[in-house]
Homo-oligomer: A and B are copies of this chain.
Amino acid sequence: MGRVRVGINGYGTIGKRVAWAVMKQPDMELVGVVKTRPSWEALSATARGIRLYVPEGKEELFENAGIKVAGTLQDLLQSIDVVVDATPAGVGATYAGRYREAGIKAVFQGGEKESVAGVSFNALYTYETALGKASVRVVSCNTTGILRVLYAFRRAGNVRSVRVTIVRRGADLKEVKKGPIEGLLLKPAKPPSHHADDVRSVAGHDLDIITYSIVAPTTLAHMHVMFVKFNGSVSREDVIRALEETPRIVLLRADLASSTAEVRELARDLGRCGDIYEVIVWPESLWVRGDEAGIAYMVHQEAIVVPENIDAIRAVTGIVSNGTQSIRLTDKALSIGRWLP
């Protein structure tokens, strides 16, 4: 099999990052991306040499704005093996029929219901389930963060219950109309937040998990506090080792940086444009006593699902049959791993 031909529907926060990541994979070719409005992001795509496809009838709108168009959405769908749907939450469902008709595989995002895609995807849990399926959905950023840390805890012991408090960023940097600018918002007011169901859709429907979610006035990242109860006791060393051995988790000493702001700037300093694909876990925050543990970590909402999308492409197209191998390929291409001493 040659390189997988990939198209991205949507070039927003997630879509553009997945596009850039696809361009770095040895076994993938980015055919183009779709944008519905001639925005600064459309301009940024063409400026990077990415072919831009637009909905039928919108060609003139883009050309008038001085943005070069390579073809229509239909043109793109006919020249690819797989589409990554990075349209706004709920919009992906309205495209599902077109993807099916075009006979291509589809990778949706966590904003779509599980019923739209069939399989909820996280590379550590459901790669093999997703193999060759017509479509999957990559669960959202907070859910992905919880899943990775939970994976480590499950390596360390027999997890009985999980209680998470999620402090969510209010908006991404570019979302200039969203808030809050000030205040903390309990959302939803009635627990659990959707993350509990989403985690179960990947990690198993019998998992005992409750999540609360508080929205804070920040754009940089989410922060979680997770309490875990085990059947039987665990040791601090086992948990630390499991965290170290879990892909896409980075342990960062809190005495070096203990805020989302410092960690994002650290990632800028290290040439990542601030994008952090890994869950950042502070080892000092790990509290272990008997059959119980607590931990705090950070999730960069714009970037964390990007490697999961890349793995999802490999899973649905079947070009790599093994999750561990796909993770290794992705992480090498994106320099993911233990980038801190």
Interface size of A by CB at 8 A reads 43
Instruction: Specify which of B165, B255, B261 is in contact with A180 (CB 8 Å cutoff).
Output: B261
Q: Which residues of B contact A262 (CB under 8 A)?
A: 183
Q: Does A212 contact B (CB under 8 A)?
A: yes
Instruction: Specify which of B182, B223, B255, B287 is in contact with A184 (CB 8 Å cutoff).
Output: B223
* Inter-chain contact A183/B296, CB cutoff 8 Å: no
Chain B residue nearest in CB terms to A263: B183
Given A182-B220, A259-B184, decide whether A285 and B227 contact each other with a Cβ distance below 8 A.
no
Q: Does A135 contact B (CB under 8 A)?
A: no
Q: Does A254 contact B (CB under 8 A)?
A: yes
Closest chain-B Cβ to A146's Cβ sits at a distance in Å of: 14
* Inter-chain contact A285/B191, CB cutoff 8 Å: yes
Given A167-B216, A214-B296, A218-B216, decide whether A223 and B287 contact each other with a Cβ distance below 8 A.
no
CA–CA, A187 to B255, complex, Å? 11
CA–CA, A289 to B227, complex, Å? 17
If over half of A's interface residues share one DSSP class (helix, strand or loop), that class is named, otherwise mixed; here it is mixed
A191-219 toward B: CB 8 Å interface, digit per residue (1/0)? 11000000000000000001010111111
A261-305 toward B: CB 8 Å interface, digit per residue (1/0)? 110100000000000000000101101000000101010000000
Q: Does A225 contact B (CB under 8 A)?
A: yes
CA–CA, A190 to B294, complex, Å? 10
* Inter-chain contact B189/A258, CB cutoff 8 Å: yes
**Complex interface residues of chain A between 71 and 117 (CB less than 8 A to chain B):** none
Closest chain-B Cβ to A110's Cβ sits at a distance in Å of: 21
* Inter-chain contact A216/B219, CB cutoff 8 Å: no
Instruction: Specify which of B165, B254, B264, B294 is in contact with A210 (CB 8 Å cutoff).
Output: B294
* Inter-chain contact A259/B185, CB cutoff 8 Å: yes
Q: Does A260 contact B (CB under 8 A)?
A: yes
CA–CA, A183 to B280, complex, Å? 14
Q: Which residues of B contact A45 (CB under 8 A)?
A: none
CA–CA, A298 to B218, complex, Å? 19
Closest chain-B Cβ to A309's Cβ sits at a distance in Å of: 25
A-B interface, 4 closest residue pairs, ranked by CB to CB distance from nearest: A183-B261, A189-B254, A165-B165, A185-B259
Residues of A within 8 A of B (CB): 163, 165, 167, 180, 182-187, 189-192, 210, 212, 214-223, 225, 227, 254-255, 258-262, 264, 282, 284-285, 287, 294, 296, 298
Query: Can you name 18 A-B pairs with beta carbons within 8 Å?
Result: A167-B214, A183-B220, A183-B260, A185-B259, A185-B260, A185-B261, A186-B223, A186-B254, A186-B282, A189-B296, A190-B284, A191-B296, A210-B287, A212-B225, A214-B296, A215-B259, A216-B217, A217-B217
